[in-house]
Amino acid sequence: MDFLPFALPEIGDDEIAEVVDTLRSGWVTTGPKAKRFEAAFGAFLGEFLGAFPGDSSLHCIAVNSATAGLHLALEALGIGPGDEVVTTTHTFTATAEVVRYLGADVKLVDIDPVTLNIDPAAIAAAITPRTKAIMPVHYAGLAADMPAILAIARQHGLKVVEDAAHALPTTSAGRLVGTLDSDATVFSFYANKTITTGEGGMLVTRDGALAERARVMRLHGMNRDAFDRFTAKVPSWHYEVVAPGFKYNLTDIAAALGIHQLKRLRGFQQQREALAALYDEGLAGLPLITAPRAPAGQTHAWHLYVVRLADDAGITRDRFIERLYEAGIGCSVHYIPLHLHPYWRDRYGLSAAQFPHSQRAYERMVSLPLYTRMTDGDVERVVAAVRSALQ
Ligand SMILES: *Cc1c(COP(=O)(O)O)cnc(C)c1O
């Protein structure tokens, strides 16, 4: 039987035609399609729940990765040496590394053992006079406890930057992630995310000053981008460099993919939701904890379907993954917590005992394949392999 990969992007004819159109157009870097993608993204967020039709206060800034977007957001908020930013240990290193780019320090905290999201009580306990910001991650596509996190931030005068790399589309207490009361939200369009541009990201904010700074810093700290200069009706070669910026702009080739991926996002989410429900059903009664679910009525983006082996599973996590590979099924682990990686462990003198919930989850967790190109039969095949591995 064919190998069932852990993740696959779903790229259709519309995406391909739009990329070809871009290639033939003569404008391949950041230009009209990146602008169209930004506008369409803002419209999507504004209209998803019908709550903010065409919400014009949302600024969407396309970048070449979520990592870039997180960096730009923290830079625009003035995070720097001497500052501390609190985030979860149970994330990808990108969330934390951007804090170090700016010379600030990372305060890693533990997760809630049920949702696997950052624990608000642990955030509150980690706050010091140096704390400037909180970076929640909506793990697997399930919203972190944003009402509690935003309340802590208000109480202590902290900024909030959401790492929403998994959370498109996700709702939190009836509102869409990207439209909440945080300072900025960053989405990822990496190859295995819920929509993809190959590489890419979107920084979303209601803060006009943050948006302006991020737009300038995304392209070398120049106050006018190349498309504006080269397409102006009057000679306009002039620009000024106002800061030592970065090279974080999204190309039109990538944006061409994003424009059409976005149109399919609602359908993608429904497919992922249905596949997750099939997993829940098929895995019921086995010695494992199925993926945490969103509260009733809330949208889960279902970027990942993460199970945890129960104490009586009778097999180690590593052996379990080997058994699935032997059955031709790819899987992964999200994540090796940051406190176990040499850089983070050594810089902050961390040990597993400081993060009991993340550590325990890590030792038992496996991410099963979950993507829109999977059929119901594929899920059944994974379920059968899981059953057999647990026998
Ligand atoms: C994928 C991911 C990122 C980084 O996204 P890029 O677009 O690859 O930079 C950041 N945080 C989390 C939690 C992710 O899963």
The pLDDT, as a whole number, for residue 133 is 99
60 and 209 both lie in a single domain? yes
24 and 65 both lie in a single domain? yes
207 and 297 both lie in a single domain? no
Q: What pLDDT band is residue 168 in, cutting at 50, 70 and 90?
A: very high
Instruction: For 251, list phi and psi in degrees, rounded to 5.
Output: -75, 160
Nearest atom of ligand 1 to the alpha carbon of 201: 7
Domain endpoint, select from 263, 293, 328: 263
pLDDT digits (tens, 9 = 90+) for 193-251: 999 999 999 999 999 999 999 999 999 999 877 667 667 777 778 899 999 999 999 99
On whether residue 1 sits in a domain, the answer given is: no
pLDDT digits (tens, 9 = 90+) for 85-127: 999 999 999 999 999 999 999 999 999 999 999 999 999 999 9
Nearest atom of ligand 1 to the alpha carbon of 65: 7
For the chain, give the mean pLDDT: 96
pLDDT at 316 over 70: yes
Domain endpoint, select from 212, 237, 263: 263
Of 303, 334, 335, 38, the residue nearest 193 (C-alpha)? 303
Other CB atoms within a 10 A radius of the CB of residue 52 amount to 17
Top mutation candidate among 6, 63, 93, 95 for ligand 1, by most atoms within 8 Å of CB: 95
pLDDT digits (tens, 9 = 90+) for 328-337: 999 999 999 9
The residue range of the domain holding 283 is 265-390
pLDDT digits (tens, 9 = 90+) for 10-61: 999 999 999 999 999 999 999 999 999 999 999 999 988 886 666 778 999 9
The pLDDT, as a whole number, for residue 48 is 86
The CATH number for 300's domain is 3.90.1150.10
On whether residue 4 sits in a domain, the answer given is: no
354 and 241 both lie in a single domain? no
Q: Rounded to the nearest whole angstrom, what is the distance from the C-alpha of residue 188 to the centroid of ligand 1?
A: 6
CA–CA distance, 352 with 360 (Å, rounded to integer)? 9
pLDDT digits (tens, 9 = 90+) for 285-296: 999 999 999 999
* Alpha carbon 117 to its chain's center: 13
Out of 132, 193, 233, 247, the active site residue is 193
The pLDDT, as a whole number, for residue 232 is 72
CA–CA distance, 107 with 247 (Å, rounded to integer)? 28
Of 94, 46, 52, 50, the residue nearest 74 (C-alpha)? 94
Catalytic: 193? yes
Q: How far is CA 173 from CA 185, 270, 369, in A?
A: 16, 19, 28
Ligand 1 shell residues, CB under 6 Å = 65-67, 91-92, 94-95, 137, 163, 165-166, 188, 190, 201
CB-facing half-sphere around the CA of 60: CA atoms within 13 A? 26
293 and 236 both lie in a single domain? no
On whether residue 3 sits in a domain, the answer given is: no
The pLDDT, as a whole number, for residue 225 is 72
Q: What predicted TM-score, i.e. pTM, was given to this entire model?
A: 0.97
The pLDDT, as a whole number, for residue 54 is 66
